[in-house]
């Protein structure tokens, strides 16, 4: 079998799959109608902020199945992982249409859907990275970009379905459609042969005294100081966006004074620049290096958070510049880190290794919205939360230099 040609089919299938599971980031738009529905059902006033815990848990549980599914991926192949994960993801979305409480949503959306997402996301990205050792940055960018662009495509579709049928039926319809697409696309996914090298490509010669990358397992990875620098760097890089994204629409309305429609448009712009950042940074990182690309992302994130901090009622232009930069910087970390992990610890065990690394992302997604809500409840304003997030970006910038120093010492 000519995997050099077939790898492009595998990449396209992976992108279709990630397009479906990326609908997780549409929660900012879906939360409002669901909160209104549950309020009417139970006679208790709920807001989108009250349902942010659903998104927080869905983000937090992903690494559990990324790691477990990664082990299955590396042994039995990704097809089985994507099939099981697709059924869990689509089933969780479908069952959310029967939700009658926040607790039910936590079971269906946060746990079932979130755990399914972790299995699928880890399998598609790690498999694609293994098939493209010559284009790790670009492919990491593309596979994560289709995940991100879902939050642009799905919200208007979901909104149209909701307006015609109501939020519960919308969840059921979307769940069934996603389960069919993900599970159907799984049959196009193949396990990458060990030490696969595409036709016509020769691995680049090592420079100076540099050592060839070693295929470490997760135990070996955890013994290296560089792993801890990288996972904290990922947490810092993802923190600002994951604090902002779940509540982007309410923040735009309350802090800037946007209408609901304008806030929804702002969420779409944020998602588009998130996608742009994944592809752009992934491509650039193949040329200037992963760590240099992440360093630039930290610098732009600091600028974005300063702009968010000074934004207020009517600061539409400043707000838009800020969310565009936040989207690009978040996309940079998401697009670069799969290849970054494979570069550092080898591609052989990247399914499990990246799943463990992804804990940094999950941690940021867990504490970000919690901190934002705490600061808002304490001060009645979002501004100080962005000042707090800036500290994470500054720490991330410092860690890029720490990483460079550790790399020099291990050569």
How many other C-beta atoms are found inside a 10 Å radius of the C-beta of residue 405?
10
d(CA 199, CA 91): 40
User: pTM above the 0.95 mark?
Assistant: no
Tokens of 221: 């990875």
CB contact burial 337-363 (16+ within 10 A = b; e otherwise): bbbbbbbbbbbbbbbbbbbbbbbbbbb
d(CA 31, CA 170): 13
Tokens of 337: 């880190």
pLDDT tens digits, one per residue of 336-352: 998 899 899 988 888 88
d(CA 63, CA 282): 22
Residue 357 has pLDDT above 60, yes or no: yes
Tokens of 148: 């991100």
Q: Backbone phi, then psi, for 211, in 5-degree steps? A: -100, 150
Q: Per-domain residue ranges for the chain? A: 3-195+209-410
Q: How confident is the model at residue 1 (pLDDT cuts 50, 70, 90)?
A: low
Mean pLDDT of the chain: 88
- Name every residue whose Cβ is closer than 8 Å to that of residue 158 and which is 6 or more positions away in sequence: 23, 26, 29, 30, 170, 174
What is the CATH code of the structural domain delimited by 3-195+209-410? 1.20.1250.20
d(CA 313, CA 311): 7
Closest CA to 46 of 32, 57, 58: 32
pLDDT tens digits, one per residue of 36-69: 989 988 888 888 778 888 988 887 888 888 888 8
260, 249 Cβ separation under 8 angstroms:
yes
How many other C-beta atoms are found inside a 10 Å radius of the C-beta of residue 105?
25
Residue 397 has pLDDT above 70, yes or no: yes
338, 354 Cβ separation under 8 angstroms:
yes
Q: How confident is the model at residue 213 (pLDDT cuts 50, 70, 90)?
A: low
Q: How confident is the model at residue 27 (pLDDT cuts 50, 70, 90)?
A: confident
The pLDDT, as a whole number, for residue 272 is: 87
Q: Backbone phi, then psi, for 44, in 5-degree steps? A: -125, 130
């Amino acid at each position: 079998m000519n995997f050099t040609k077939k790898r492009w089919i595998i990449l396209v299938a992976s992108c279709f799959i990630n397009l479906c599971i990326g609908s997780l980031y549409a929660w900012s738009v879906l939360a409002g109608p669901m909160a209104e529905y549950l309020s009417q059902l139970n006679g208790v006033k709920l807001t989108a902020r009250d349902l942010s815990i659903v998104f927080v848990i869905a983000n937090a549980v992903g690494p559990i199945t990324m790691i477990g599914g990664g082990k299955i991926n590396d042994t039995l192949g990704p097809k089985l992982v994507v099939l099981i994960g697709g059924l869990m993801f689509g089933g969780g979305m479908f069952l959310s249409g029967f939700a009658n409480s926040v607790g039910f949503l936590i079971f269906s959306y946060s746990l079932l859907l979130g755990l399914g997402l972790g299995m699928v996301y880890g399998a598609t990205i790690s498999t694609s990275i293994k098939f493209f050792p010559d284009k790790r940055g670009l492919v990491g960018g593309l596979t994560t970009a289709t995940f991100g662009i879902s939050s642009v495509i799905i919200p208007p579709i979901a909104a149209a379905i909701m307006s015609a049928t109501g939020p519960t039926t919308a969840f059921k319809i979307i769940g069934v459609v996603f389960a069919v697409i993900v599970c159907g696309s799984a049959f196009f996914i193949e396990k990458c042969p060990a030490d696969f090298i595409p036709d016509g490509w020769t691995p680049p010669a090592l420079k100076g005294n540099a050592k060839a990358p070693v295929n470490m397992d997760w135990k070996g990875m955890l013994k290296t100081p560089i792993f801890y620098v990288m996972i904290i760097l990922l947490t810092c890089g993802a923190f600002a966006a994951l604090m902002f994204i779940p509540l982007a629409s309410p923040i735009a309305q309350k802090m800037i004074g946007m209408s609901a429609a304008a806030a929804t448009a702002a969420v779409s712009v944020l998602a588009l620049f998130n996608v742009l950042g994944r592809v752009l940074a992934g491509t650039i990182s193949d040329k200037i290096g992963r760590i240099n690309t992440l360093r630039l992302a930290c610098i732009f994130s600091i600028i974005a958070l300063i702009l968010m901090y000074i934004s207020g009622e009517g600061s539409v232009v400043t707000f838009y510049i800020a969310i565009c930069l936040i989207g690009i910087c978040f996309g940079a970390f998401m697009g670069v880190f799969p290849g970054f992990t494979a570069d550092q610890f080898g591609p052989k065990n990247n399914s499990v290794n990246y799943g463990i690394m992804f804990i940094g992302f999950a941690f940021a997604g867990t504490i970000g919205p919690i901190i934002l809500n705490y600061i808002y409840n304490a001060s009645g304003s979002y501004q100080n939360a962005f000042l707090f997030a800036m500290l994470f970006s500054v720490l991330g910038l410092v860690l890029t230099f720490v990483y460079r120093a550790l790399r020099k010492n291990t050569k």
